[in-house]
Structure 1
C-alpha cells in the first residue's frame, strides 16, 4: 500500500453575497464540527477582507470557537496573510491557539490572494512576497528559540522580542505556506523547511497547474539550503462533490457551480472564465474533464484522486474546498459519502477488513466442515438424553 493520505477541508470560505453573513459563519462552524465527527484530519480557515464572498475576517477567532466544539480534528489558518500583520503578533496568536487546542493548531501562512486587500492597507502588491519572507524568518525564530530577536524593516520593528510562552507541543507548531502558480512559495518552503498547501483547483477555465513541477521547485531549493522536504507535508486543495450517482452529483451542483463561476470570478473580479467552444451550461463538465474539479459518484472521486496522485508522483494530504454549490443537506451528505467510502481507500482503513473477508472466503470450506460436525455432535448428544 502507498503512504496513507490525510484528508480535510479548506474553508476559504466563499458564500453568496445574498446570504446573511452571520448565518453563513455559524454554518461554517457547524461544518467543522461535522468534519470532526466524520473523522477528517484537518480544517483550514481563511482570512479575507474584501470582495464580499470570502467573509471570514479573523480565522484565529473562528478556530478558538470551534476548538471548544471539536475533539480531535486539527485546525489551521488557511491562511494568515503575513504582509498585513506584525510577525510578533502572528506568532503570539499561534502559540495561544496551540495551547487552547492542546497541540491541534497548524499555522498556515501566505502572501494574500485578493489584490483589493493590500490596496486598502496601502501595501503595494510587489511588497507582499518580500514581506512574507521577512515575517516568516522572524516567526520561525520566535516559535523555536528562547533567544531574543531584534529586527528593523520598513514595515515592522522588534526590539529584544521573545514570546513569554513556548508552544504547547514539544515539537513546536507546524507551519505551512500556501502556493498557487508561481514557484516562489515552493522555494520558500524548501529553503525554510515548511509544509506546503497547493491550490489544485484553479479558477474556472484555467488548466490545472503542473503540480509535479511545483514540488520539484521545493526539492531544488531544499537541496541548495542543505535541507530535505517530505511529500507527507504537502497538501493539495481540490473541489470535490460526491453523490450516489454521477448524474445526481451533476444535477446537485450545476446551479451553484454556475453562480460561483459567473457571480464570483466574472462579476466580482472581472476575470475571463469561459472555455473556447464550451457554451454556458456545459462548463461544469468541461472543468471536470480538465481535472480542475472532481464531481460524481464515489468511484469518480476515487479515480480523480488516483489521477492526481499519478500526475504529482504523490502528496501527503487533500483538502476539500468547502463551496456552497448545493443545499446544506446535500453538502453534508457529500462529506459523509467521502468520509465513509472515498477516504478509506487511501488511508489504509480498509486493509484489515478486506484481508479478513478474503481469508474467511478462501477457507470457508474448513469452517463449514467444522460447523456441520459441531451440529451433528450436538444433535447426537441431544438424542442420547
Structure 2
C-alpha cells in the first residue's frame, strides 16, 4: 500500500488577542482544503487550559468536520484517556462513527503533560494505569454487549454502548507511543501505532528507524497481525531550499511550546537512548491567564536536512526522497503538521503545493492522491 498523507488541525493559539473563533475558522479551512486536495485524512489535536493546543474537544470538532466532508478520514487525537470516563468516549465515538461511516477513527494515549491532570484531580502517577483500564474497556464495549467491569479506577454493572458501532468491528483505533517501551507494548497487542518525536521536533536521523524496527520485532514475537503505523512530521515545502525555510522561526517557536507543555528539557534528548525513553523529568509549566510561557531553545538552520529527520522542510524532490524511505520502513500514514503559527493563507498554499508536487509520487491506481 502506498504511503498516505494526512494533515493535522493543531489549534495553536499563540496570539490570544485574536478571537478564538478565528482559529476555529482557520482549522475548518484546513479541513476543507484537505478534502479538496486529496489528502487521506485529518487528525484533530486536543488539550486543555492553555493556548498551545486550544481545543478542549477533538470529538466535537470532528463531528463538525464530518458534516462538511464526503470522503476525508477524520481522527480525533490524541485523546488522553485519563481525562475521561471510557464509557462516554466509547459512546461518543460510536455516534461519530454513524455520522461518517467508515471514515472515523480515534488516537488515544496516556498523555504527555501533568498540567491538565492536576487541574481535573487526577494524580499523574496513576495516568498509566487509568489509561490501560480505559483502553481495555473501550475495546471491550465496542465488540461485546452487556459488559461489566470491576477495576481499580472504573467499575460498572452490565452495560451496552448504544448505538453500536457502524464500522465493523469498530472505529479504527490508533495508540500513541513515542518511547521504545511504549511502541513495544502497542505492537505486542496487535494495535495500530501513531508516533511522533518524543521531544517535539528536531529528531535526528535513525530514531524513527529504531522505533519501526522495535514495532516490527514485537509484532513478530506476538504472532498477531501487524497493525498500521502513522507518523507525524513537521513539514513545509518550497520551490527552493531558501523558500522552504521561510517560516523556520515558527517551527522553533512551536517546538518551544511543546517543550514547555510537557515539562521537557531539550538537553535531555542528547542521545538516542534518552530520546526514546519514557520522559521522567518535569519542569514546571508556567501558564498565566491561559497563556503558556514557551521554552527558549534556539536551533540553527545550518545542516538542518543532514542532521534531522524532523522537521522536513525542503523542495518537493527531496521531500519525496525522504518520504519514500518512510514508505520502505513500513509507515502507512504520514501526518503533516503544517500549521505552526504561519498565516492560514500560506498554510493552504503549502498544502496545495504538496498536493500537486509531492502526493502524486505516492499515488496508486486504486487511490489517486493530490490534485487531479
User: What band does the TM-score fall into relative to the shorter chain?
Assistant: 0.7 to 0.9
CA-CA distance at 1:349 after TM superposition:
5.6
User: 1:112 and 1:264, CA in 2 relative to 1: closer, same or farther beyond 3 A?
Assistant: closer
1:304 maps onto 2:299 in alignment: no
User: 1:81 and 1:281, CA in 2 relative to 1: closer, same or farther beyond 3 A?
Assistant: closer
In the TM superposition, 1:153-192 aligns within 5 A as: 153-184=151-182, 186-192=183-189
**Residue of structure 2 equivalent to 1:337:** 353
**Residue of structure 1 equivalent to 2:72:** 73
Contact 1:201–1:239 (Cα < 8 Å) also in 2: no
CA-CA distance at 1:283 after TM superposition:
4.3
1:213 maps onto 2:229 in alignment: no
User: 1:88 and 1:130, CA in 2 relative to 1: closer, same or farther beyond 3 A?
Assistant: same
User: 1:78 and 1:287, CA in 2 relative to 1: closer, same or farther beyond 3 A?
Assistant: farther
TM score, norm. by length of structure 2: 0.82
User: 1:75 and 1:204, CA in 2 relative to 1: closer, same or farther beyond 3 A?
Assistant: closer
**Residue of structure 1 equivalent to 2:118:** 119
Contact 1:179–1:198 (Cα < 8 Å) also in 2: yes
CA-CA distance at 1:74 after TM superposition:
0.7
Partners of 1:53 and 1:265 in 2: how far apart? 11
**Residue of structure 1 equivalent to 2:194:** 197
In the TM superposition, 1:134-145 aligns within 5 A as: 134-145=133-144
CA-CA distance at 1:29 after TM superposition:
1.6
CA-CA distance at 1:190 after TM superposition:
2.4
Partners of 2:360 and 2:367 in 1: how far apart? 9
CA-CA distance at 1:340 after TM superposition:
1.5
User: 1:209 and 1:32, CA in 2 relative to 1: closer, same or farther beyond 3 A?
Assistant: farther
**Residue of structure 1 equivalent to 2:63:** 64
User: 1:222 and 1:107, CA in 2 relative to 1: closer, same or farther beyond 3 A?
Assistant: same
Contact 1:107–1:176 (Cα < 8 Å) also in 2: yes
User: 1:43 and 1:297, CA in 2 relative to 1: closer, same or farther beyond 3 A?
Assistant: same
Deviation digits for residues 215-272 of structure 1, max 9, x if unmatched? 3443444445441214xx1111111111222211212x13322432446636995733
Aligned counterpart in structure 1 of residue 239 of structure 2, from 238, 244, 269: 244
RMSD of aligned residue pairs (Cα, Å) = 2.9
Contact 2:202–2:309 (Cα < 8 Å) also in 1: no
Of structures 1 and 2, the one with the larger relative CO (CA 8 A, separation 6+) is: 2
Contact 1:257–1:284 (Cα < 8 Å) also in 2: no
User: 1:339 and 1:250, CA in 2 relative to 1: closer, same or farther beyond 3 A?
Assistant: same
In the TM superposition, 1:347-366 aligns within 5 A as: 347-348=363-364
**Residue of structure 2 equivalent to 1:359:** none
Aligned counterpart in structure 1 of residue 251 of structure 2, from 249, 257, 260: 257
For structure 1, list consecutive stretches of 5 or more residues without a partner in the other structure.
353-385
User: 1:126 and 1:207, CA in 2 relative to 1: closer, same or farther beyond 3 A?
Assistant: farther
Contact 1:190–1:221 (Cα < 8 Å) also in 2: yes
Contact 1:237–1:318 (Cα < 8 Å) also in 2: yes
- Structure number, greater radius of gyration: 1
CA-CA distance at 1:204 after TM superposition:
4.2
TM score, norm. by length of structure 1: 0.79
Contact 1:39–1:339 (Cα < 8 Å) also in 2: yes
Partners of 2:26 and 2:207 in 1: how far apart? 34
Partners of 2:147 and 2:138 in 1: how far apart? 10
